[in-house]
A and B are shown apart, each in its own frame.
Chain A
Amino acid sequence: MAEERVREVRMGRRGQMRGGPRPKVENPGLLLKRILGYVFKYYGVQMIIVLICIVLSVVANVQGTMFTRTLIDDYITPMIGQADPDYGPLLHAMGRVAIFYGIGILAGYTQQRLMVQVNQGTLKRMREDLFDHMETLPIKYFDTHARGDIMSIYTNDIDTLRQMISQSVPQLFNSAITIVSVLSMMLVLSIPLTILTLCMVALMLFVTAQVSKHSGRNFVAQQRNLGKMNGYIEETVNGEKVVKVFCHEEQAIKDFDELNEQLYQSAFKANSFANIIGPVNQQMGNANYVIVALVGSILALNNFAGFTVGALASFLTLNRSFSMPINQVSMQFNSIIMALAGAERIFNLLDEQPETDEGYVMLVNCYYDENGNVVETDKHTGQWAWKHFHKQSDQSVTYQKLEGDITFEDVDFGYTDDKMVLHDINLHANPGEKVALVGSTGAGKTTITNLINRFYDIQDGKIRYDNINVNKIKKADLRRSLGIVLQDTHLFTGTVKENIRYGKLDATDEEVIEAAKLANADSFIRRLPEGYDTKITGDGTNLSQGQRQLLAIARAAIANPPALILDEATSSIDTRTEKLVQEGMDKLMHGRTTFVIAHRLSTIRDSSQILVMEQGRIVERGTHEELLAQKGRYYQLYTGKNDALTA
């Protein structure tokens, strides 16, 4: 019972986040316009040529069909019985048709080639735009959206769009042109029969719409089930080793079978309905033909409004060419609906609000001239300055030395406005100080560090960096000024060297090795099969946790930032190695303001100040000795007397 409820709540939330699986695309017209807008924006010329090519091939095709009819009547029949038939006119006519054919083939080929360019080019741009935009989104977006959902936009949704642009769009144009030309010819022959045909076509479309509704609903269900299964596979395969250790394979298979069956049911229904549209329309087209023939015969035999038998024969031919493109369009219906649903998710991501940055203070490398004035430079001098650009007043630029003084003034923060997780945080880190944050998990230590580099913005209070409100500092510069080593070390596909170089893209090999040595990673790296050129795969799963942390430290070291945040940076490194790393870390931290989150005494003992956190508040502060003397919470933790605690 409770389980169900929790599941519901959870599903509900996730549903909300993703906008929920909708039975219908909200505004198909607008979406289609946006997609076409995208296509035309970059490939307008190509698309116009494509359109011309389509017209040309339709015309060439019509010429070809007409030729077979006139061939016999106009050229062959007159020659029959002649003693010395003159094939000249026939050859001439065939030459003319051959030219039409040639134009048709050329137009077709051009269209195909251009569409490849348009289609692939559009998708490339769309992928790039998606990724570009994703990189600008705030951390909050990633914290509140399921990874699988984001991934699926790049894979499934883009793929359905590919099919739509490459197949459905040209098909639609082609059909539209054919329909218009045939319709106008039909109107010339007989208005009443045209109306009759249109009525039948309307019926066809109505039936198509009805069937499509069913298949569409099931396609949505299919995508939803596919997503569910995606999530299940991801989770299970990620935890496959645990599955093995617990011999949980059978249960996993059972759960999977259930999801698989659901997917099958919805896919079966969706595909069945989608498949039915074709034959149903085709046979309705045939019925349409019979009815028009019957009504037409009555009209023709009664010579209604000058309608002749010959005209009826022509009309019937047109009737057939009319229902064919309509058939084709209705066959595309589902893939268009699917693509639009995908496009909606794509545009939803593109419409997400990017991280705002109203900061104007910049961080620059600098050196001091003989008078002690700050001079800006492009070189890595290891010295930094804030660059203020006074826009309002006199357009002047002033420099201020980066000291590394960080203060929190009465900061309140919550991930959502209705639930604060940090209360009344006040702290002052003097330049070069090492500030340790201790406290249990969930006390808000990591949250504090997330606020300094503005991964999240605070609700109330002020955070100042060298007396500048962090809101006024350009985010990129603010973040560049803070080296960060996180508890969950994420590495990237590439070599070890490339991963260390991530901290400073133009670092030389020597710098990389130096940083590795500083982090005490050099020795283990050298023992890897290919040393610094060893490939790291899948987030570094071929390295142990400790080794990954060492690499992350090296990565931070090479960046040489003026201030540091170390969030359990050495938690997975054994104490003996840590002692070795510590030397390097001390060197790294020397002269830099450092925030350290750790649960090992050795890591925090020599901090300038230790802040003890509990439930989003700082409850004690001071140096190690001071805190011990206070005999408060810290003392209890230090002596390990758990029993003495009163919760």
Chain B
Amino acid sequence: MVKTLAAQIKEFKKASIITPLSMIGEVICEMIIPILMGRMVDYGIGRGDMSYIVRTGLIMLAVALGGLFFGVMGAVFGAMASTGFARNLRKAMFDNIQTYSFANIDKFSTSSLVTRLTTDVTNIQNAFQMILRMGLRAPVTMIVAMAMSFSLSPRLASIYLIAVFILAICMFFIMSRATRYFQQVFRRYDDLNESVQENVNAIRVVKAYVREDYEISRFDKAAANIYLMFSKAELNMAIVAPLMQTVVYTCILLISWFGAHMIVGGTLATGELMSLLTYCMNILMSLMMVSMIFVMITMSQASAKRIAEVINEESSLKNPENPVMSVPDGSIQFKDVYFSYTPGSGDPVLKDINLDIHAGESIGIIGGTGSAKSSLVSLISRLYDVTEGSVLVGGRDVRDYDMEVLRNEVSVVLQQNVLFSGTIMDNLRWGDPNATEEDCMRVCRMACADEFIEKMPDGYNTWIEQGGSNVSGGQKQRLCIARALLKKPKILILDDSTSAVDTATDAKIRKAFREEIPNTTKLIIAQRISSVKDCDRIIVMEDGRVDGFGTHDELLETNGIYREVYESQVGAGANADFDRPE
């Protein structure tokens, strides 16, 4: 975990080294100044030696200037190292998320990824800065003070050693318990965030069912859980400071007692006792610092783990070693394919699929809700890997291709489609960043999106809100189709992508496909028979199996399910659609 994170320091190594070194410089200056102050009082003021006062004062100012220099160095480089480290962490996470497969994405929720990229990184940033600026400074102070104490009186100094030892053991136990609590706190945080997010998203449902009180009680439970765990963790930590004080005060009393005896016995000077007590304070302060660093580390450990999880998550799909860089044609074969989202558990989603689709064919896919139509097509562009058997595109196993090459040739319009904030043009160019305006307009014509785009006040420069919330469902679908077309793929897959488009427009789009991209293999998942009727062949899916595969007329004769679906939709007004855009 530490290794994963530390690997991201990268170009900030220098800053990460300069910072603690500067802090040591500052510590040295800091240790000199009290000595100078003491001298100024003892020799200068005590003796009324004005020139000594001025001299020492000037030296002090010089040392203070040095301290300022080191301090500022430490401040700036510390900030640079920690914020830079945070930047690299975010980048490493985001970059890795981009390599995730669909299976990986399914594993993490969006809100959890957002928290990891923001809150968790901020925690690490703060902890890292603390470690850099205090991590070396505190132990150095402690060691110096300890060494000085030993040089004065090994017997008395050994009291410090014992005290530090006892403290270390206590701290270890407290910290390990606190770590556990803090980890739970973070999990509870996720619950709470989820509760808020759900309510913000589904407020209409909450209000429609008048479930405000119910939701409040649910939220209160989550809030109470956080309160409980956080209190536990912090109460646990609340012992630290008093414990430290107890140890230090005990030390002072013991040193005073034994020191008094030694002074009276003539083995210790009074000045030395004073110094020993001063060092005691120094040791205390630095121990406090160390424990604070521990707290920081403890609190950030959970964050570090969550970040490392994202960075270390390996994509479940790997590019082959010598990938095939071109797809010869748009033919598709399924050979004895079994597929399960979580292999080894439960019934496979797809069972015993064998299909042979020629390049340029148009294939309709029809089947009930949950009959695994989407799962079937998701294997073609290798969004998931088969559990058993193989899927071939252009005569080669999809796992042999370079993934980007494959996905550029197999264009999928997903069922749950997303537009991104940006202009319509920006969104279209996802398909091809170099597309000219004419290209974009051409695909929009094919997808019948041109009519409504041109009616918009800013035309192709109309701003699309996040998630495409300012265009209608049918408009969104047509934009998504246009976007997919811009890729000029060998295989085009439409996963229920015209469900919100009226039948006439739907037919127009299919006509455009037939005429303008005849050589592209087209797979069309639909609920409307009219959408697939004129396809070359139609696949009927039922319960993860292919129930029938043939032309419309063949299926009407031989396939019971198809006939049933057909009959449910046929008749007068079968083409009627009341969500027609004007």
Determine if B74 and A441 form an interchain contact, defined as CB atoms under 8 angstroms apart. Answer: no
Determine if A313 and B45 form an interchain contact, defined as CB atoms under 8 angstroms apart. Answer: yes
Complex CA distance for A245 and B497, rounded to whole angstroms = 15
Q: Which of A265-319 contact B (CB under 8 A)?
A: 267-272, 274-276, 278-280, 282-283, 286-287, 289-290, 293-294, 296-298, 300-301, 309, 312-313, 316
Spot the interface stretch: B60-68, B512-520, B546-554.
B60-68
Q: Which of A1-18 contact B (CB under 8 A)?
A: 2-3, 6-7, 9-10
A377 CB–B CB distance under 8 Å? no
Determine if B216 and A120 form an interchain contact, defined as CB atoms under 8 angstroms apart. Answer: no
Determine if B430 and A479 form an interchain contact, defined as CB atoms under 8 angstroms apart. Answer: no
Determine if A547 and B249 form an interchain contact, defined as CB atoms under 8 angstroms apart. Answer: no
* Number of A residues with CB within 8 Å of any CB on chain B: 177
Complex CA distance for A105 and B565, rounded to whole angstroms = 80
Q: Which of A607-647 contact B (CB under 8 A)?
A: 612, 614, 637-640, 642, 645, 647
Q: Closest B residue to A642 by CB, please name it.
A: B504
Complex CA distance for A391 and B425, rounded to whole angstroms = 60
The residues of B that contact A123 with a CB separation of less than 8 Å are 227
Give chain A nearest CB distance to B489 CB in angstroms. 11
Asked, given contacts A539-B198, A574-B367, whether A637 binds B577 with beta carbons under 8 Å apart, the answer is yes
Determine if B60 and A108 form an interchain contact, defined as CB atoms under 8 angstroms apart. Answer: no
Identify 6 residue pairs between A and B in the complex whose beta-carbon atoms are under 8 Å apart, listed by A's number: A151-B193, A231-B466, A275-B74, A502-B211, A573-B369, A577-B368
Give how many A-B residue pairs fall within 8 Å (CB-CB).
Answer: 476
Q: Closest B residue to A135 by CB, please name it.
A: B212
The 8 A CB mask of B563-582 against A (1 = contact, 0 = none) is: 01100110001111111111
* Number of B residues with CB within 8 Å of any CB on chain A: 180
Determine if B235 and A113 form an interchain contact, defined as CB atoms under 8 angstroms apart. Answer: yes
Q: Closest B residue to A61 by CB, please name it.
A: B245
Complex CA distance for A309 and B582, rounded to whole angstroms = 96
Q: Which of B228-287 contact A (CB under 8 A)?
A: 230-231, 234-235, 238-239, 241-242, 245-246, 249, 252-253, 256-257, 259-261, 263-264, 270, 273-274, 277
The residues of A that contact B472 with a CB separation of less than 8 Å are 440-442
The residues of B that contact A598 with a CB separation of less than 8 Å are 578
Give chain B nearest CB distance to A153 CB in angstroms. 9
B329 CB–A CB distance under 8 Å? no
Determine if B256 and A229 form an interchain contact, defined as CB atoms under 8 angstroms apart. Answer: no
Complex CA distance for A505 and B212, rounded to whole angstroms = 13
Determine if B242 and A276 form an interchain contact, defined as CB atoms under 8 angstroms apart. Answer: no
* Closest 4 pairs (CB-CB, A-B): A279-B71, A275-B75, A441-B472, A490-B202
B159 CB–A CB distance under 8 Å? no
Give chain B nearest CB distance to A331 CB in angstroms. 12
Determine if A275 and B78 form an interchain contact, defined as CB atoms under 8 angstroms apart. Answer: yes
Give chain B nearest CB distance to A36 CB in angstroms. 20
Spot the interface stretch: B85-93, B161-169, B386-394.
B85-93
Complex CA distance for A10 and B197, rounded to whole angstroms = 23
Determine if A242 and B417 form an interchain contact, defined as CB atoms under 8 angstroms apart. Answer: yes
Complex CA distance for A297 and B50, rounded to whole angstroms = 7
The 8 A CB mask of A585-622 against B (1 = contact, 0 = none) is: 00000000000001111101100000010100000000
Majority secondary structure, B binding face:
helix
A453 CB–B CB distance under 8 Å? yes
Determine if B370 and A637 form an interchain contact, defined as CB atoms under 8 angstroms apart. Answer: no
Determine if B105 and A77 form an interchain contact, defined as CB atoms under 8 angstroms apart. Answer: no
Determine if B99 and A544 form an interchain contact, defined as CB atoms under 8 angstroms apart. Answer: no
Asked, given contacts A76-B270, A147-B200, A573-B369, whether A98 binds B256 with beta carbons under 8 Å apart, the answer is no
Complex CA distance for A208 and B398, rounded to whole angstroms = 63
The residues of B that contact A579 with a CB separation of less than 8 Å are 568
- Cross-interface CB contact of B569 among A260, A267, A272, A575, cutoff 8 Å: A575
Asked, given contacts A267-B83, A547-B369, whether A150 binds B118 with beta carbons under 8 Å apart, the answer is no
**Most A-side CB within 10 Å, residue of B200, B226, B502:** B200
B414 CB–A CB distance under 8 Å? yes
The residues of B that contact A309 with a CB separation of less than 8 Å are 45-46, 48
Q: Closest B residue to A643 by CB, please name it.
A: B504
Complex CA distance for A550 and B415, rounded to whole angstroms = 17
The residues of A that contact B63 with a CB separation of less than 8 Å are 286
Asked, given contacts A230-B114, A253-B95, A479-B207, whether A441 binds B474 with beta carbons under 8 Å apart, the answer is yes
Complex CA distance for A316 and B401, rounded to whole angstroms = 78
Complex CA distance for A574 and B475, rounded to whole angstroms = 21
Asked, given contacts A135-B206, A234-B114, A275-B76, whether A640 binds B503 with beta carbons under 8 Å apart, the answer is yes
The residues of A that contact B219 with a CB separation of less than 8 Å are 127-128, 131
- Cross-interface CB contact of B416 among A151, A294, A545, cutoff 8 Å: A545
A180 CB–B CB distance under 8 Å? no
Determine if A479 and B209 form an interchain contact, defined as CB atoms under 8 angstroms apart. Answer: yes
Determine if A90 and B202 form an interchain contact, defined as CB atoms under 8 angstroms apart. Answer: no
- Cross-interface CB contact of A492 among B202, B230, B529, B574, cutoff 8 Å: B202
Spot the interface stretch: B36-44, B138-146, B436-444.
B36-44
Complex CA distance for A128 and B78, rounded to whole angstroms = 38
Determine if B46 and A282 form an interchain contact, defined as CB atoms under 8 angstroms apart. Answer: no
**Most A-side CB within 10 Å, residue of B198, B274, B403, B462:** B198
Complex CA distance for A225 and B466, rounded to whole angstroms = 18
Determine if B98 and A151 form an interchain contact, defined as CB atoms under 8 angstroms apart. Answer: no
**Most B-side CB within 10 Å, residue of A64, A127, A235, A275:** A275
9 further A-B pairs in the complex, CB-CB below 8 A; given A135-B215, A574-B527: A94-B256, A159-B119, A230-B118, A238-B110, A260-B90, A278-B71, A547-B369, A599-B500, A605-B573
Complex CA distance for A491 and B504, rounded to whole angstroms = 33
The residues of B that contact A235 with a CB separation of less than 8 Å are 420-421, 466-467
Give chain A nearest CB distance to B22 CB in angstroms. 10
A52 CB–B CB distance under 8 Å? no
Determine if A286 and B67 form an interchain contact, defined as CB atoms under 8 angstroms apart. Answer: yes
Spot the interface stretch: A38-46, A78-86, A186-194, A404-412.
A78-86
Q: Closest A residue to B375 by CB, please name it.
A: A544
Q: Closest B residue to A492 by CB, please name it.
A: B198
Spot the interface stretch: A198-206, A340-348, A480-488.
A480-488
The 8 A CB mask of A243-272 against B (1 = contact, 0 = none) is: 111111111110011001101100111111
Q: Closest B residue to A95 by CB, please name it.
A: B253
The 8 A CB mask of B455-474 against A (1 = contact, 0 = none) is: 00010011101110000111
Determine if B264 and A3 form an interchain contact, defined as CB atoms under 8 angstroms apart. Answer: no
Give chain B nearest CB distance to A17 CB in angstroms. 13
Determine if B369 and A6 form an interchain contact, defined as CB atoms under 8 angstroms apart. Answer: no
The residues of B that contact A264 with a CB separation of less than 8 Å are 83-84, 86-87
Q: Which of B98-113 contact A (CB under 8 A)?
A: 98-102, 105-106, 109-111, 113
The residues of B that contact A245 with a CB separation of less than 8 Å are 381, 383, 407, 411-412, 414
Asked, given contacts A245-B381, A245-B414, A283-B65, whether A135 binds B246 with beta carbons under 8 Å apart, the answer is no
The residues of B that contact A151 with a CB separation of less than 8 Å are 111, 193, 196-197, 200
